[in-house]
Amino acid sequence: MHRIVILGAGTGGTLVANRLRKAFTTDQASITCVDQNDRHVYQPGLLFVPFGLTHPEDIIRPRGKQLHDGVDYWLAAVDRVDLEARCVHLVDGGALTYDVLIVATGAVLAPEETEGLTGPGWMERVFTFYTPEGASALEAALATFDGGRLVVNVVEMPIKCPVAPIEFCFLADWYFRERGIRERVDMTYVTPLDAAFTKPIAAKHLGGMLEERSIELVTEFNTGEVDGVGGRLISYDEREVPFDLAVVIPAHNGAAYVAKSPGLGDALGFVLTDEHTLQSVASPNVFALGDAAGLPVSKAGSVTDFEGEVLVENVQHFLAGEPLDASYDGHANCFIETGFSKAMMIDFNYEVEPQTGHYPGVVGLPLLKESHLNHLGKLMFQWFYWHSLLPGRNIPGIHSAMPLAGKQREGEQREEEAHS
């Protein structure tokens, strides 16, 4: 019998455990899923907490309940992985041996790596909405914020859900308008990138949307220090951005045990992974997906879901001694909440950047365009997440490989603009 061990019972670990449980009978394979706590956070929901649109208790469920019968669930912290001995050492002294290991322990926030960020002012005038606790504390701070300088800062890429900080700006603009105090708030988006976003077409759209909302954009700003007392972000090249309230997205690392396991990860603790097969570069019987994988893709739930489909097939190929399927194409998509009950959608992969058009086909959700339909899609997605994505059901029309039908390439788009 094959022993499959999955580290992490978040999005990737859960959906892979459930899909593998369907793929193998209990006589063929044992599946063990390990996590260090029993709080499964629907992370896309965190964005809405600061604005009182949802609450932490509505987006957190027990991890164990999301796993199908027949998946062993262990509540334990991982100390390190011994790739040669094919053994996971746990902090409590226990150990788990495996035939196949799947790393799905996500990314962790590293606010302590930025000077001053967790010092005086942290959780008082400097917040992050990337944790349930931070998002709740920010909700209280926003409720009593009557005007001044609000700064939203991404310390360094990669971060989870790279569009979330921009969505936060759009929602804050909406929130202050609803409260009738928008003109008393100066908003600034401060990014280490050279534009509002990484991919050129989407960066142009999103940059324009910040401008329309009078949100100042500061680019190529690498935060070296946060002065919570003086209210200043200070870059490594000694530029300063003043604030009364700062929303900071800290640098991210992989799980600490990855960096402690020789060969498994890079210097930040992200697993060195083949970008098409999702197999570890260090060891053929190790695979990784989701935020834990060091791939040039967004750290996002949709990516994890698309990766999961390919990974589950490859675990089966590997255990059968067959060649792996190198078909993960970097497919990612996400809804971008833009305020006023509207949202945009972007869909892209390793080769094709976000474009206009529709998803998943010629008829579908509008891409790179604000619409109420996308907002409804974003709201509905939470239901799909718990009831369809985690259980490992296929959503009709949504596949791992990125669809090209429905997309307008840039040249066609220009032509269309010229005609209109």
Binding site for another protein (CB under 8 A): 113, 156-158, 162, 192-194, 197-199, 220, 222, 224, 236-237, 251, 266-268, 296-298
In degrees rounded to 5, what are phi and psi of residue 223?
-65, 120
Measured CA to CA, the distance from residue 413 to residue 416 in angstroms comes to 5
Q: Which of 194/212 has CB closer to another protein?
A: 194
Q: Are strands 2-7 and 29-35 parallel, antiparallel or unpaired?
A: parallel
Measured CA to CA, the distance from residue 161 to residue 300 in angstroms comes to 5
Q: Which residues pair with 5 in a beta bridge?
A: 32, 101
| Residue among 61, 68, 100 at smallest CA distance from 391 | 68
Least distance to another protein, CB of residue 257, Å? 17
Strand segments, DSSP code E, in 165-270 are 185-190, 215-218, 223-227, 232-235, 240-242, 245-249, 252-254
Q: Are strands 148-154 and 245-249 parallel, antiparallel or unpaired?
A: parallel
Q: Which of 40/199 has CB closer to another protein?
A: 199
Q: Which residues pair with 232 in a beta bridge?
A: 227, 242
Least distance to another protein, CB of residue 3, Å? 31
Q: Which of 247/300 has CB closer to another protein?
A: 300
On whether the CB atoms of residues 187 and 172 are closer than 8 A, the answer is: yes
Measured CA to CA, the distance from residue 211 to residue 199 in angstroms comes to 18
On whether the CB atoms of residues 386 and 370 are closer than 8 A, the answer is: no
Q: Which of 151/251 has CB closer to another protein?
A: 251
Q: Which residues pair with 34 in a beta bridge?
A: 7, 74
| Residue among 135, 172, 168, 151 at smallest CA distance from 245 | 151
Q: What are the Cα distances from residue 187, in Å, to 153, 207, 213, 225?
A: 11, 14, 9, 20
Q: Which of 29/367 has CB closer to another protein?
A: 367
